[in-house]
Amino acid sequence: MKYLIACLGNIGAEYANTRHNIGFQVGDALCADLSGKFETGRLAQTAVVKYKSRVLVVIKPTTYMNLSGKAVQYWLRQENIPQENLLVVVDDLALPLATLRMKTKGSDAGHNGLENIIQTLGNNQFARLRFGIGNDFPRGKQVDFVLGEWSKQELLALEPKIPAAVEMVKSFVAIGAERTMNFYNNK
């Protein structure tokens, strides 16, 4: 069985340690955990890793966040992966810092990357792992916040949660979204 793990973020050194790039950080940690290595591919950096006899195609789109759907659609088709085997790893302002939640479908909740994926695929029927980045910003400063770098305090809170997110991705692949949600979402 094949899975597409789409870890969202923005390419470029200026975005490397920003809140919006937590998806990339989880993707990097997942590949390190499963001894994978990213290579430059079409529309994304890609790594192919194995977990419990399953093949995971992990992508970090190079299309920038707002056009993530283009990379997701391409790699689903290229690797002949059914949409039910897609997991999108994404930052979420609506969740408290370092909170992890898996969902099997839903709206874009104002997230441009999710919005583009939903528009490109023509539906919202795909799993996503939402990684809370909090919402501690003044009114009208949302863009500055999501594109801002983590504070030292935030990094301390994230440290144990990135490996937890990796475990959730592996659980999604091994036992599916529903059972993963039951096991992890209330922790």
Please list the active-site residues: 20
Identify whether the C-beta of residue 30 lies closer than 8 Å to the C-beta of residue 58.
Answer: yes
Place of tokens 């500055």: 144
CA 128/CA 102 separation, integer angstroms:
6
CA 130/CA 136 separation, integer angstroms:
17
